[in-house]
Structure 1
């Protein structure tokens, strides 16, 4: 079995969504004083490679801790669409050639190639986004989740978060943002694990996302 890491490092100088404070790492205990090292970490629940549940936008909807653990593991397929230019949409034309596999997959991960801009201003630019037909496909095929190598599901200028709301209003789905290394995955199904922190009333959480490939 081959295991690939799909997760960005968390650091104080990492990209964060506009208007959000970056994480802070403060020494809490030291070898010299306490005999051990411990660090106080302060960060938002939607920092780095992270997961959104329906409760991120809608009160009384599902929080991450209310999902069964099975929600976060399943068969996945990468949809490669890195040929798209800035501002273009990910349409069903990218899914239809792999429709049988896409229907079998519990997660669809979209490789736009945007992770190459991680740490630059361009990462916050006009990255490709799914269109409403793709959103409908995710809803109707009852996917566990969608993953992207961009900072958001919606365009950066859409403060209404239209696509988030469409997916979360009635569906038990999670949205995973800021993935990396999707270019290393082919066009076959694989096992995907995206495990959030286990805390109460979770509106989101950083995750460790990995791909498990059969060799």
Structure 2
């Protein structure tokens, strides 16, 4: 499973198999201990400021309330046909103080070559607007929240520079309503890391 161009997929295997464990324990007792070798940018993952800035908060410094139970809005961007998502896409939506999830439909191309290039992305002015609205977190169902062909990475720079975490490679945002969602994306608390896979999910208010 390749998540991002140029980065290796994970290696998932047994460190201790059930068969090998049987000689270590009593009769009828067995365990499995798994092993994963992977880059941090694997699957759906969260970027902390340290991912972009050496002096930024790493995963261990992120407050839990910046990652969990966040009041959330979902922004719908038409059918994956729009690449550059501008400020105007957010201006008529109550994003202030909320997590913002951008639903483009690009996840339909997951595990295909198409997913890895030509992605939908936020523009620099969109990122600046979201920061001005004190958003808590921004997520997107795309290979990158920036234009993958732009090495300047203005959206990462702006959001992470303002301590706004980013979640990329999201999926199934079509299942969430536009409002009344509480969002969770909690990574492992690892010092010296800027990125980690998350089980991202939304709880819908009833």
Provide TM-score, normalisation by structure 2: 0.89
Match of 2:115, SS state, is: helix
1:129-174: CA deviation from partner (whole Å, max 9, x where unpaired): 11122111111112221000001111121233222112223x1110
Which has more strand, going by share of residues? 1
Q: 1:27 deviation in Å?
A: 1.6
The answer to whether structure 1 residue 23 and structure 2 residue 10 are counterparts is yes
Q: 1:84 deviation in Å?
A: 4.8
Whether the aligned pair in 1 keeps the contact of 2:95 and 2:133 (CA below 8 Å) is no
The number of residue pairs the alignment matches comes to: 197
Whether the aligned pair in 1 keeps the contact of 2:160 and 2:166 (CA below 8 Å) is no
Provide TM-score, normalisation by structure 1: 0.86
Structure-1 residue corresponding to 2:32: 37
Q: Which runs of 4+ in 1 moved over 6 A?
A: none
Listed as ranges, the matches of 1:27-176 within 5 Å are 27-34=14-21, 35-73=30-68, 74-85=70-81, 88-98=83-93, 101-103=94-96, 105-169=97-161, 171-176=162-167
Whether the aligned pair in 2 keeps the contact of 1:15 and 1:118 (CA below 8 Å) is no
Distance 1:125 1:96 in 2: 27
Distance 2:48 2:20 in 1: 41
1:165-212: CA deviation from partner (whole Å, max 9, x where unpaired): 12223x111010000110112221310011101222221110111100
Distance 2:89 2:53 in 1: 30
Structure-2 residue corresponding to 1:202: 193
Match of 1:102, SS state, is: coil
Instruction: Tell me which of the two structures has the higher relative contact order, counting C-alpha pairs closer than 8 angstroms and 6 or more residues apart.
Output: 1
User: Cα RMSD between the aligned structures?
Assistant: 1.5
Structure 2 unaligned blocks of 5 or more:
22-29
